[in-house]
Structure 1
Amino acid sequence: MKTIAVLTSLPVVLLSFSQLVTAASSSPSPSTQETLAKAPEEDLRRGHDNHHRQKPNFLVFLTDDQDLHMNSLDYQPLVKKYLRDQGTEFTNYYTTTAMCCPSRVSLWSGQFAHNHNVTDESPPHGSYTKFVSQQLDKNWLPTWLQDAGYSNNYIGKFINGVSPALKHAPKGFDHHHWEPLVAPNIYTFYSPVFATNNGPLEAHTGVYQTDIISDKSIAILDGLAQNKTQPFLFVISPTAPHDEVWPTSNGTRFTPPVPAKRHEHLFKDAKAPRHPNFNPVKNDKVSWIQSLPRLNEEQIKTIDATYRARLQSLQATDELVERVIKRLEKNGQLDNTYIVYTTDNGYHLGTHRMFAGKQTAFQEDTNIPFIIRGPGIAKNKKSNAVATHTHFPATVLKLAGLPIPEDLDAHSIPVLEDKALYGKDQSSEAFAVEFWSTAFMENTTARYSTNTYKSVRLIGRGYNLLYTVWCTGEHEYYDLVKDPFQIRNIYHQTKATVLNRLDALLNVLRTCKGPTCRDPWSVLHPPTLDEKNENKEKKKSKARRGVHSLKEALDKRYDDFYAGLPKFAFKDCLQYYASENEFTVPQHTEL
Structure 2
Amino acid sequence: MYHVGCQYSSVSASVESFRACTSKVAIMLALNLLVFTIGAICACHAKNIVLIVADDLDVVLDGMTPLASTRKYIGDEGVTFKNAFAAVPICCPNRASILTGRYQHNHRTFNNSLNGGCNAQDWLTSHETNTFAAILKHQMNYSTFYAGKYLNQYGDKNTGGASHVPPGWDQWYGLIGNSRYYNYSLSVNGVEKKYGAEPSDYLTDVIKTLALDYISRQRKDHPFMMVLAPPAPHHPFVPAERHNDKYKGTRAKLTKNFNTWTNQEKHWLVRMGPSPLPSNVLASLDEIYRRRWEALLAVDEMVADVHDQLAKQGLLDDTYVIFTSDNGFHVGQFSQPYDKRQPYEADIRVPLLVRGPNVTRATEFAAAVSSVDLFATIIEMAGVEAPSDGISLLKLLRDGVKDRTVLVEYRGERSIGAPSSGCPSDRDLNLSHCSREFACKCQDAANNTFACVRRVAERENNVFCVFNEDEGEFVEAYDLLSDEFQMTNVGPAMGANKRHRFRDRLRKMTNCKGRNCVATNPPLHSHLDELSLLYTSMEDHFVTMI
TM-score norm. by structure 2 comes to: 0.79
Per-residue deviation, residues 64-114 of structure 1 (Å, max 9, x unmatched): 000111102122211122112111110111111111000000001010010
Specify which of 167, 170, 175 is matched with residue 181 of structure 1.
175
Task: After TM superposition, give the deviation of residue 57 of structure 1 in Å.
Answer: 0.4
Equivalent of residue 410 in structure 1, options 390, 402, 410: 390
Q: Which residue of 2 aligns with 1:23?
A: none
CA distance in 1, matches of 2:494, 2:500: 10
Deviates more, 1:213-222 or 1:160-169: 160-169
Partner of 1:210: 204
Aligned residues: 460
Aligned-partner SS, 1:173: coil
Identity %: 27
- Determine which structure has the larger helix proportion and give its number: 2
SS at match of 2:162: coil
Equivalent in 34, 38, 48 of residue 57 of structure 1: 48
Question: Residue 500 of structure 1: SS of its match in structure 2?
Answer: helix
1:556-591 Cα shifts (integer Å, max 9, x gaps): xxxxxxxxxxxxxxxxxxxxxxxxxxxxxxxxxxxx
Alignment of structure 1 residues 233-312 onto 2, 5 Å: 233-244=225-236, 257-281=237-261, 283=263, 284-293=265-274, 294-312=276-294
Alpha-carbon distance in structure 1 between the residues aligned to 2:434 and 2:235: 12
Alpha-carbon separation, structure 1, partners of 2:300 and 2:36:
32
2:162 maps to what in 1? 166
- Show the counterpart of 1:477: 477
1:33-91 Cα shifts (integer Å, max 9, x gaps)? xxxxxx99999xxxxxx977452100011110001111021222111221121111101
- Find out whether 1:97 has 2:88 as its counterpart: yes
Q: Is the 8 A contact 2:149 2:229 kept in 1?
A: yes
For the 8 Å contact 2:163–2:192, the answer to whether it is kept is no
| Distance change >3 Å, CA 75–CA 393, structure 1 → 2 | same
Task: Supply the AA of the counterpart residue of 1:486.
Answer: Q
Report the Cα distance in structure 1 between the residues aligned to 2:100 and 2:400, rounded to whole angstroms.
Answer: 19
| TM-score normalized by the length of structure 1 | 0.73
Q: Which runs of 5+ in 2 are unaligned?
A: 1-33, 414-431, 524-536, 542-546
User: How far apart, in 2, do the equivalents of 1:131 and 1:193 lie?
Assistant: 24
User: Mapping of 1:44-443 within 5 angstroms?
Assistant: 53-130=44-121, 132-146=123-137, 147-163=139-155, 165-174=161-170, 177-183=171-177, 186-206=178-198, 207-223=201-217, 225=218, 227-244=219-236, 257-281=237-261, 283=263, 284-293=265-274, 294-402=276-384, 404-405=385-386, 407-414=387-394, 419=398, 426=401, 429-438=404-413, 440=433
| Deviations 1:412-447, CA, capped at 9 Å, x for gaps | 114787x3xxxx584661222111113646775635
CA distance in 2, matches of 1:41, 1:334: 29
SS in 2 for 1:484: coil
Bigger CA drift: 80-89 or 280-289?
Answer: 280-289
Cα RMSD after superposing both structures: 2.8
SS in 2 for 1:299: helix
SS of alignment partner, residue 128 of structure 1:
coil
Alpha-carbon distance in structure 2 between the residues aligned to 1:426 and 1:106: 22
Structure 1: gaps spanning 5 or more residues: 1-38, 44-49, 245-256, 524-536, 542-591
Q: How big is each residue's C-alpha offset from its partner over 1:128-187, in whole Å with a ceiling of 9 and x where there is no partner?
A: 23464443122221111112121111001011112173213111112xx0011113xx43
Seen in structure 2, the aligned counterparts of structure 1 residues 133 and 86 have a Cα distance that, compared at 3 Å, is closer
Question: Cα 1:220–1:486, aligned 2, differ >3 Å: closer, same or farther?
Answer: same
> How far apart are 1:396 and its partner, in Å?
1.5
Code of the residue aligned with 1:83 in structure 2: it is I
Distance in 1 separating the partners of 2:37 and 2:232: 38
Matches within 5 A, 1:405-554: 405=386, 407-414=387-394, 419=398, 426=401, 429-438=404-413, 440=433, 444=438, 446=442, 447-472=444-469, 473-519=473-519
The aligned amino acid for 1:68 is: V
